[in-house]
Amino acid sequence: MFRGRRKISDFSAEIEAHLQLEIDRLQEQGLSAEEARTAARRAFGNVTRAQERFYEQRYWGGWDHLLQDIRFGLRMLRKSPGFSAVAILTLAVGIGANTAIFSVVNSVLLRPLPYPDADRLAIIWSGLGNANRAPASNFEVFQIRQRTKEFDQVGGIWVTNGALPGDGDVEQVKVASVTANFLPLLCPKPELGRFFAPEDEPNAPNAQRPIIISHGVWVRRFGGDPGIIDRVVRFGPRSAVVIGVMPQNFRLIFPGGSSIATNVDVFYSTRIDASDPLGPAYLRLIGRLRPGSNIATAQAEADSIATQITSFDGNSGISNFRLYIYSLQAEDVRDVRGTLLFLFGGVAFVLLIGCANVANLLMARATQRLRETTVRVALGASRARLVSQLLTESLLLAFLGAVVALGIGWAAVRAILAVRPPSLANLGEVHLDLRVLAFTFAVAILTSALFGLAPMITVGRLDLLQSLKEATRPTGWTGRKWNSALVSAEVALGFVLLLGTGLLMRTFVNVLRVDPGFRAENVSTFQLPPPSYEMLRQLQQNLMAFPGVESVSAVSHIPLDDTANWYDYYWKEGTPTELRSTTYADHRSILPGYFGTIGATLLHGRDFTEADDAAHEHVIIIDDLLARELWPDGDAIGKKLNITDSPSGPYQFQRDWAVVVGVVRHIQCHSLTAIVRPQIYVPFQLAPRPMAIVVRTAGTVSGLTNSARKQVALLNKNMPVSRVAPLSDYVARARSESRFASLLAMSLSSVALLLACIGIYGVLSYSVAQRTSEIGIRMAIGAGRSDVMRMVLADGFASVLLGLTVGFLLSLVLTPLVAGLLFGVKPGDPENYAMILVVVLLVSALASFLPARRAMRIDPLMALRHE
Amino acid sequence: MSTRESKERLELLQGTLDLLILRTLILGAHHGQGIARTIQQTSEDELLVEHGALYPALQRLEERGWISAKWGTSANNRRARFYSLTTAGRKQLVKETTKWKRLATAITRILGAELEET
């Protein structure tokens, strides 16, 4: 146990007691009171001295020395504000940026998902042909549930747009169809009511549905009514009974590209109808592993289940069916992992550079203060006392740096949140992580302490007389070697970071330059639940009449939007049965004029017309990817493809033969950089579904949105309009990840460059100051000003070149790691190397020039008298 | 500041005070004045213990955990800080005593030999 330190008063009391006891004894021996007192005091010796010694013994923990050191340290910091500011800011930027980025990394990559048994949750993708992160069909879910021993639960979800339940304004919200066991997988219990039971699965298509609503809808639409449970409410064209309310903080955290919105407002139960092996695949599956199971064993089991499903019905056309099991957490961060790790590495580099800088500054300063130190040693200061004082000063710097770092870190987290891509937005709140702050703070303190004390090692060996004589010119000191080594390290780290940044920036530029296959400017969009064909045509005509509108059309999937994708397999005539289900294409339902409206290019053939309905021969338009793949000779027009459509109503899928009447240039619809799948366009009359209206205008047209809402209400007052947004928003969002990465990398690199610049400048200035008299002598014996300048520059560039060499070698190992983040540029891109090399050399030249000029201007006479 | 009386006594060797304090405390808890008196009496007034020097030593021993202290009442009803030996202190005493005896023997041997030569 820790014993509390004695107070000086306690000690004095003890001495007083001692004297009293001695007086008592002496009086017993017959001395008078006065004599006894004198004798006792004499025997005791010097009371004050004893107290002093007691006081000094406690010196290490003594507040007085600490306070004294802090006061002295603060005075020293105030005395050289430039040094203090640079050191504190350097530390603050290093600690602050590091904390901010790590806070993001932590909340995205490391913190477990907010679900019960999150580490046992896995996502189950199915794969068929060229689709390998595909949803599963009812049939497949049924088969997996029947056969699995590794999962104790397998639940599925499908999200689409639907009507907001309850009375009031019609509004379109995200609506999910889930298996009864899905919600309990991700949520311990509802806020109110209950989850679905198997008997909630609908038996008839038009039966009154039980629904579970989000906390948001409950508050917004039903005023937080506690009696909401079992209430019958309007839900689109039908009515539904509310059986539960989800907790307020419930979110669906799914991998990007899985078309599962974070906030779903209505859940209803879906029925697993296992009868049709070729039924639509739409369910995203989440499985909970049994305790003791792991991803690898689950994958092995899934492989065998996939084989069994393939062989289940030889005539079903299912071949090469596969199942992929990934941990939900890993899959959720798959897209952002690379970016975040790059940033994390970058921040570590900045912290290292910052530490190197502070080390340099402290060492330089300690050397300057060698005389002061020497005098103090000569006057009898103990080494321990000097160390404690230097340490206090370093810690003071680190502490002030950390305080400023808090501010910088807070601002940086704000800034990161402001520019974060949607893939990060999924992952909820990001807070400044105090543990990380503590960690980086500790690193900074360690650096400061280490390098603040480095000179002490030499002080111990100092020949006092020699040092006093030499004053500020400690020739034997090895500090300069250390300093140039640190500069080399800074340059090496900065060079590598800049190389990475250069690559990311070029990637971003390439992303900006990508032709997505359409022109997004001046196109407005909004979305509707499945409309009738007549209404759609009427709306098209009515909107056309609005001044400034050039063309109006509709599409089921806006390019680069994340609504639930529609894709299915296709085959051309003469394809053997077992190969029929191996290749997938995205299917889109469109109105005539769609390609013209969004500025896509129809390469061959014709657009759809009003006559392309179910009564006539089914027709499709395909993109050039598909045309080239199937008919490389370029004669796609007039050929037949077996595709999926739904002429009898939304989602009433059937397979049909359709004739290719047009070929359109591929439109990027999942990302700007990756070509995911070819596209098949089906006339709306053959595939009615929820649609997005696209309106091209001449320039910006105000009031279009309101007018569109009015037009829709005029045609059908119950039809909600949702997601009103310009098409360019979708493109901007698709660019946001690359923008995010390059923006952050750029700010990190600027900081690194600035710090390295300060480092080079500081070391050279210091070295010039140190060598003032040497330079004076050189000039006195005939060295020209240019010689002096060359000497200083050579000094600086020696360490820069060494740093560049090390950086180059380092980059050979490190840059390939960012390959996954790049588009249109290779990690080893020579242009990038050349550009960054020039930047580093320019900055180094700038940083070296000022000290070199100062050296050049040294007056030899002054310099010699400088001693 | 030394008196005539004290000049006749032996100055304590560096480091021996700690040993003597520990040795004194093996008889039981004692306050500072008692310890000083005991050392003086046991050495038959040969050793000079400056009472003031005793306290930093007591403080040092206490911090090392060899002795512990608490306030109590003396035989003649005075408040005093009583020191007693801890287990660690007991071990230290054995160690130091052995060391001291070896040192004393060695020194005596050398000094004795020298005397014979002259």
Report the chain A residue with the minimal C-alpha distance to residue B37.
Answer: A22
Shared-domain flag, residues A369 and A475: yes
**A480 closest CA partner among A786, A799, A850, A756:** A799
Instruction: Give the closest-approach CA distance of B48 to chain A in angstroms.
Output: 9
So what's the pLDDT on residue B47?
Answer: 74
A371 touches chain B (CB under 8 A): no
> Each residue of A441-456: pLDDT tens digit?
787 777 777 766 665 6
Mean pLDDT of A453-480: 53
Report the chain A residue with the minimal C-alpha distance to residue B61.
Answer: A57
So what's the pLDDT on residue A6?
Answer: 72
Asked if pLDDT for residue A183 goes beyond 90, the answer is: yes
So what's the pLDDT on residue A341?
Answer: 82
DSSP β-ladder status, A722-726 and B67-73: unpaired
A833 touches chain B (CB under 8 A): no
| Disruptive mutation site among A7, A14, A26, A53 for chain B (greatest number of B CBs within 10 Å) | A14
Q: Which two tokens stand for residue A153?
A: 């639960």
- CB contact under 8 Å between B81 and A14, yes or no, is yes
pLDDT exceeding 90 applies to what percent of chain A? Answer: 30
Q: Which of A501-515, A732-746, B39-53 has the lowest mean pLDDT?
A: B39-53
Q: What are residue A359's phi and psi, to 5 degrees?
A: -60, -45
Report the chain A residue with the minimal C-alpha distance to residue B40.
Answer: A43
Please, how many CA atoms are within 13 Å of residue B11, restricted to the half-sphere of its CB? 4
Helix (H) or strand (E) holding A568, with range, is strand A567-569
- CB contact under 8 Å between B3 and A42, yes or no, is yes
Is the dihedral angle over the CA atoms A826, A832, A836, A841 positive or is it negative?
A: positive
Shared-domain flag, residues A495 and A380: yes
> Each residue of A667-714: pLDDT tens digit?
999 888 888 889 999 999 999 998 999 999 998 877 888 888 899 999
Interface A-B: count of C-beta contacts within 8 A? 67
In one-letter notation, the amino acid at residue A309 is I
Q: Are A151 and A290 in contact (CB under 8 A)?
A: yes
Report the chain B residue with the minimal C-alpha distance to residue A53.
Answer: B56
> Each residue of A98-152: pLDDT tens digit?
788 778 777 777 777 888 888 899 999 988 766 678 888 888 888 899 899 999 9
Q: Which residues of B touch A20 (CB under 8 A)?
A: 78
- CB contact under 8 Å between A57 and B31, yes or no, is no
Is the dihedral angle over the CA atoms B94, B98, B103, B104 positive or is it negative?
A: positive
Asked if pLDDT for residue A484 goes beyond 90, the answer is: no
Instruction: Give the closest-approach CA distance of A108 to chain B in angstroms.
Output: 50
Q: Which residues of A touch B32 (CB under 8 A)?
A: 14, 17-18
Shared-domain flag, residues A136 and A260: yes
Flag whether A125 is in a domain.
no
**A480 closest CA partner among A369, A362, A390, A360:** A360
If one compares A743 and A295, the residue with the highest pLDDT of the two is A295
So what's the pLDDT on residue A23?
Answer: 87
Shared-domain flag, residues A507 and A541: no
So what's the pLDDT on residue A83?
Answer: 76
Q: Which residues of A touch B35 (CB under 8 A)?
A: none
Which of A18, A53, A54 is facing B33, going by the closest CB pair? A18
Query: Cα-atom radius of gyration of chain A, to the nearest Å?
Result: 38
Asked if pLDDT for residue A242 goes beyond 50, the answer is: yes
Shared-domain flag, residues A702 and A755: no
Shared-domain flag, residues A354 and A398: yes
| Disruptive mutation site among A19, A21, A27 for chain B (greatest number of B CBs within 10 Å) | A21
So what's the pLDDT on residue A428?
Answer: 58
List residues of B whose CB lies inside 8 A of any A CB.
1, 3, 31-34, 36-37, 50-53, 55-56, 59-60, 63, 74, 76, 78-81
> Each residue of A763-792: pLDDT tens digit?
777 777 777 778 888 888 888 888 888 888
Asked if pLDDT for residue A203 goes beyond 60, the answer is: yes
CB atoms within 10 A of CB A49: 13
- CB contact under 8 Å between B55 and A50, yes or no, is yes
Report the chain A residue with the minimal C-alpha distance to residue B31.
Answer: A18
In one-letter notation, the amino acid at residue B73 is T
- CB contact under 8 Å between B32 and A47, yes or no, is no
**Pseudo-torsion of CA A830, A834, A835, A837, nearest 10°?**
130
The number of domains in chain A is 4
So what's the pLDDT on residue A779?
Answer: 83
Q: What band does B14 get if pLDDT is binned at 50, 70 and 90?
A: low
Mean pLDDT of B96-103: 88
* β-strand partners of A656: A643
pLDDT exceeding 70 applies to what percent of chain A? Answer: 89
- Give exposure, A448-474, as e/b (b: 16+ Cβ within 10 Å): bbebbbbbbebbeebeeeebeebebbb
Shared-domain flag, residues A310 and A433: no
Coil, strand or helix at A593: coil
Shared-domain flag, residues A693 and A743: no
So what's the pLDDT on residue A330?
Answer: 85
Instruction: Give the closest-approach CA distance of B5 to chain A in angstroms.
Output: 11
Q: Which residues of A touch B50 (CB under 8 A)?
A: 43-45
DSSP β-ladder status, A679-683 and A151-163: unpaired
- CB contact under 8 Å between B60 and A24, yes or no, is no
Which of A21, A42, A49 is facing B31, going by the closest CB pair? A21
A42 touches chain B (CB under 8 A): yes
So what's the pLDDT on residue B10?
Answer: 64
> Each residue of B51-83: pLDDT tens digit?
777 888 888 888 888 899 888 888 888 888 999
Which of B3, B32, B76 is facing A14, going by the closest CB pair? B32
- CB contact under 8 Å between A57 and B60, yes or no, is yes
Mean pLDDT of A710-720: 88
- CB contact under 8 Å between B56 and A50, yes or no, is yes
Q: What band does A561 get if pLDDT is binned at 50, 70 and 90?
A: confident
Flag whether A582 is in a domain.
yes
Q: What's the CA angle centered on B60, arms B56 and B66, to 5 degrees?
A: 135
Shared-domain flag, residues A302 and A378: no
Mean pLDDT of all residues belonging to chain A: 83
Asked if pLDDT for residue A752 goes beyond 50, the answer is: yes
Report the chain A residue with the minimal C-alpha distance to residue B33.
Answer: A18
HEC letters along A442-467: HHHHHHHHHHHHHHHHHHHHCCHHHH
A52 touches chain B (CB under 8 A): no
Q: What band does A471 get if pLDDT is binned at 50, 70 and 90?
A: very low
> Each residue of A89-101: pLDDT tens digit?
888 888 888 788 7
Counting Cβ atoms within 10 Å, is residue B118 exposed (0-12), middle (13-18) or buried (19+)? exposed
So what's the pLDDT on residue A3?
Answer: 45
Of the candidates A14, A31, A59, which is a domain's last residue? A59
* β-strand partners of A696: A523, A551
Instruction: Give the closest-approach CA distance of B15 to chain A in angstroms.
Output: 16
Q: Which residues of A touch B52 (CB under 8 A)?
A: 44-47, 49-50
Flag whether A107 is in a domain.
no
CB proximity under 8 Å: A 266-295 to B: none
Asked if pLDDT for residue A8 goes beyond 80, the answer is: no
So what's the pLDDT on residue A272?
Answer: 79
Q: Which residues of B touch A6 (CB under 8 A)?
A: 59
Which of A17, A25, A45 is facing B53, going by the closest CB pair? A45
Shared-domain flag, residues A714 and A740: no
A384: Cβ contacts below 8 Å, ≥ 6 apart = none
Flag whether A328 is in a domain.
no
If one compares A189 and B112, the residue with the highest pLDDT of the two is A189
Flag whether A594 is in a domain.
yes
Q: What band does B1 get if pLDDT is binned at 50, 70 and 90?
A: very low
Mean pLDDT of B7-20: 69
Of the candidates A719, A749, A778, which is a domain's last residue? A719
Report the chain A residue with the minimal C-alpha distance to residue B75.
Answer: A21
Asked if pLDDT for residue A749 goes beyond 70, the answer is: yes
So what's the pLDDT on residue A343?
Answer: 82
Flag whether A677 is in a domain.
yes
Report the chain A residue with the minimal C-alpha distance to residue B52.
Answer: A44
Q: Which residues of B touch A50 (CB under 8 A)?
A: 52-53, 55-56
Of the candidates A719, A752, A780, which is a domain's last residue? A719
The residue segments making up the domain with residue A806 are 337-512+736-864
Instruction: Give the closest-approach CA distance of A840 to chain B in angstroms.
Output: 58
CB proximity under 8 Å: A 678-707 to B: none
B2: Cβ contacts below 8 Å, ≥ 6 apart = none
Which of B1, B55, B80 is facing A21, going by the closest CB pair? B80
A8 touches chain B (CB under 8 A): no
CB atoms within 10 A of CB A582: 18
Flag whether A81 is in a domain.
no
What are the helix and strand counts (H, E) for chain A?
A: 26, 24
> Each residue of B20-42: pLDDT tens digit?
888 888 888 888 888 888 888 88
Asked if pLDDT for residue A436 goes beyond 80, the answer is: no
- Residue with the two structure tokens 């590495």: A345
Coil, strand or helix at A168: coil
Instruction: Give the closest-approach CA distance of A376 to chain B in angstroms.
Output: 27
Which of A24, A47, A53 is facing B56, going by the closest CB pair? A53
So what's the pLDDT on residue A486?
Answer: 81
Report the chain B residue with the minimal C-alpha distance to residue A17.
Answer: B80
Shared-domain flag, residues A375 and A285: no
A7 touches chain B (CB under 8 A): no
ipTM over 0.90: no
So what's the pLDDT on residue A776?
Answer: 82
So what's the pLDDT on residue B118?
Answer: 43
If one compares A314 and A295, the residue with the highest pLDDT of the two is A295
- CB contact under 8 Å between A25 and B33, yes or no, is yes
A150 touches chain B (CB under 8 A): no
Q: What band does A270 get if pLDDT is binned at 50, 70 and 90?
A: confident
- CB contact under 8 Å between A53 and B32, yes or no, is no
Shared-domain flag, residues A295 and A348: no
- CB contact under 8 Å between A17 and B60, yes or no, is no
So what's the pLDDT on residue A129?
Answer: 67
Flag whether A729 is in a domain.
no
So what's the pLDDT on residue A2?
Answer: 39
Q: What band does A562 get if pLDDT is binned at 50, 70 and 90?
A: confident
Which of B3, B51, B56 is facing A18, going by the closest CB pair? B51
Q: Which residues of B touch A49 (CB under 8 A)?
A: 52
